[in-house]
Structure 1
Amino acid sequence: MSTAKVQIQSGQFTQLPNGTRLHYASAGELGRPLILFVHGFPEFWYEWVAQLEEFGTDYFAVAPDLRGFNLSDMPIDPAAYKARHIVDDLQGLITMLGYQQAIIVAHDWGGAVCWNLAIALPRLVEKLVIINSPHPYLFMQALASDPVQQAASAYMNWLRQPGSEQALEKDNFALMEGFFQGMGQPPAVWFDADTRSKYHACWQRGLHGGVNYYRASPMHPPTSQATGAQRLELNPADFCVQPPVRIIWGEADQALPASLLTGLERFVPDLQIVRIPEGGHWVIHEQPERVNALLRQLITS
């Protein structure tokens, strides 16, 4: 592995077989092993800038803007954000880049999508590394029966409501920035002026795509209008993950506590978990060098 930083190429687009146009950034040489970095809400490809610089030295490192975020297509209809469509996007991206398989690193909503990808299309996944994103069956159980998780996830029901995107835009994205100041981590030192300007530029392109992930998902805390996750009747056997899974979990995450890892070995035969006790939901930003070192360790183990 070279110690020299590689140049990140952004502004790249691909038209997928399903018609979706995705933007992505990359680092490294096409033809090297593919490592795919998949962001969550309210982020975009730039979440992974430190990882692109690190892994572009010996991989072809790619970080897309998911459908609905930043420069990628942003459908209006919430139904366009069902998990199967996002999984199809990622399958199409891997194929369009000329690969049959990838190492996948995913966080938050990106993790939710990539759990589903690894379950449905295991042949595409050489190894899955998840950072603070719960397994779908375990999350469903917690939303349905754990009052602590229901309270921690109450924001999901607010985001599902009509007009949430307009509320998030008010006062120069004050509520959006608030996401980075909660969820268990100290004030976001990493969210400096330059980073803030990049995120504002992303958010100004539209927020309805991001909140539509919440509207399209059947999993959310129960409400007086709908019982949310309690209505789902899922077979745990359908949620087994065959590819190797490696977990990095910031245990100070207030929205997604480490209790969501309990029982994960039931669904993942090849599993390793690394816990960062002081790490918050945004541990990728808080401790990028540590995360990079752990990723190096986990993707080769």
Structure 2
Amino acid sequence: MNSRFVTLNGQPFFLRSWGDPNLPTLLMLHGFPEYGGAWADLAPHLAPHYHCVAPDQRGYGQSWVPESVGHYTLSNLVTDMAALIEMQGGPVTVLGHDWGASVAYGLAMFRPELVDRLIIANGVHPVPFQRAMAAGGAQSAASQYINDLRAEDAADRFSANSFALLERFFRYGMGLDWLSDHQMQDYRTEWARPGRLNAMLNWYRASPLVVAKPGEPLTDLPELPVERLMVRCPHLLLWGPEDKALLPEATSGLETFAPDLKRVDIPGADHWLHHQRPDAMAQAILDWSGA
């Protein structure tokens, strides 16, 4: 693994990379509450075939940490990664997990000239996800934690007692515990960087997605423009079926927005499939891409 800082749109971002830079680039986008090092389990399986590039995204790890919520809208997050792809000489294959999936979808939808192929691992397209969260059913119930993460005092509560509440959410809130004590300490180190946790939470605060109360469906959401939200490149969706936070209904109807879609379940995995089954995940990627 190599690491370095790069400047994107005038701001510093920290990158990790694996593999030969002359190989095709695979841009790997982490989610909450991880950082670019989260791909260390998966990247070695793919490095013989791809130059794996994993940034700490805006507000995370050692990258740029602006303060206000407005800096964390999807358009800003996509602009960061579009600049990185252009620096890599794009277009590239993009892999996104959790919130990284939202950025990956944003790139595929709004900067399609930069994305050859799209891989999503337990992440969601905004339209099926919003529909599921607005329905007042199982996904609405599973998504209530979002309100806790958006709360004004969330950074104080989740960082108290050496991040005890955030650790409990991370290790047990979305599936099975997979973390070693050493890995957990690495995460605490990243979370403890000044301003980081509040910045990470700003991703949730800046999102326009609405969560219904269980049993109280929302019926007044605006219609979203299908044509603007299409994924026209080949798309692979990898899914850990034991995920407690993202349920299958969160991807219902995805084919409407991604006509060239392949779905692959990764047995024995939940939301953290890239840690739990990196071998199976890598094989599914290689089988699909022909790399």
Q: TM-score, normalised by structure 1?
A: 0.90
Alignment partner for residue 14 of structure 2, among 23, 47, 72? 23
Q: 1:194-209 residue pairs with structure 2 within 5 A?
A: 194-205=182-193, 206-209=196-199
Query: 2-side partners of 1:279 and 1:51: how far apart?
Result: 14
1:46 correspondence with 2:37: yes
SS of aligned partner of 2:42 = helix
Alignment partner for residue 265 of structure 1, among 242, 245, 255? 255
Equivalent in the alignment of 1:13: 5
Q: 1:76-115 residue pairs with structure 2 within 5 A?
A: 76-97=67-88, 99-115=89-105
1:230–1:219 CA distance, 2 compared to 1 (3 A): farther
Q: How far off is 1:146 after superposition?
A: 3.5
* Letter of the structure 2 residue corresponding to residue 9 of structure 1: N
Q: How far off is 1:228 after superposition?
A: 8.6
Q: How far off is 1:235 after superposition?
A: 2.0
The 8 Å contact of residues 33 and 170 in structure 2, kept in 1 or not, is answered as: no
1:23–1:167 CA distance, 2 compared to 1 (3 A): same
Query: 2-side partners of 1:32 and 1:146: how far apart?
Result: 46
Unpaired segments of 5 or more residues in structure 1? 1-7
Query: 2-side partners of 1:154 and 1:20: how far apart?
Result: 34
Q: How far off is 1:31 after superposition?
A: 2.8
Q: How far off is 1:178 after superposition?
A: 1.4
Q: How far off is 1:20 after superposition?
A: 2.5
Q: 1:184-203 residue pairs with structure 2 within 5 A?
A: 184-186=174-176, 188=177, 190-203=178-191
SS of aligned partner of 1:14 = strand
1:139 correspondence with 2:132: no
Query: 1-side partners of 2:46 and 2:227: how far apart?
Result: 35
Query: 2-side partners of 1:202 and 1:15: how far apart?
Result: 20
Single out whichever of 40-49 and 233-242 deviates more from structure 2.
233-242
* Letter of the structure 2 residue corresponding to residue 243 of structure 1: C
The 8 Å contact of residues 20 and 89 in structure 1, kept in 2 or not, is answered as: no
Query: 2-side partners of 1:212 and 1:107: how far apart?
Result: 18
Q: How far off is 1:147 after superposition?
A: 2.4
Equivalent in the alignment of 1:4: none
1:251 correspondence with 2:237: no
The 8 Å contact of residues 171 and 179 in structure 2, kept in 1 or not, is answered as: no
Where do 4+ consecutive residues of structure 1 move more than 4 Å?
A: 227-230
SS of aligned partner of 1:180 = helix
SS of aligned partner of 1:87 = helix
1:231–1:145 CA distance, 2 compared to 1 (3 A): same
What do residues 232-279 of structure 1 show as CA deviations (whole Å, max 9, x unaligned)? 431223221101100101111111011222211111111100013542
What do residues 13-65 of structure 1 show as CA deviations (whole Å, max 9, x unaligned)? 1111x223211100122232111110000000111002222222232110000
Equivalent in the alignment of 1:63: 54
| Aligned Cα root-mean-square deviation (Å) | 1.8
What do residues 120-142 of structure 1 show as CA deviations (whole Å, max 9, x unaligned)? 11111111110011111111111
1:183–1:253 CA distance, 2 compared to 1 (3 A): farther
1:228–1:112 CA distance, 2 compared to 1 (3 A): farther
Query: 2-side partners of 1:39 and 1:229: how far apart?
Result: 32
1:213–1:184 CA distance, 2 compared to 1 (3 A): closer
Q: How far off is 1:198 after superposition?
A: 0.9
Instruction: Report percent identity of matched pairs.
Output: 34
* Letter of the structure 2 residue corresponding to residue 13 of structure 1: F
1:228–1:171 CA distance, 2 compared to 1 (3 A): farther
The 8 Å contact of residues 40 and 107 in structure 1, kept in 2 or not, is answered as: yes
The 8 Å contact of residues 218 and 228 in structure 1, kept in 2 or not, is answered as: no
Q: How far off is 1:299 after superposition?
A: 2.4
1:68–1:184 CA distance, 2 compared to 1 (3 A): closer
What do residues 73-117 of structure 1 show as CA deviations (whole Å, max 9, x unaligned)? 1111110000011101001011123x1211111100000111111
Equivalent in the alignment of 1:171: 161
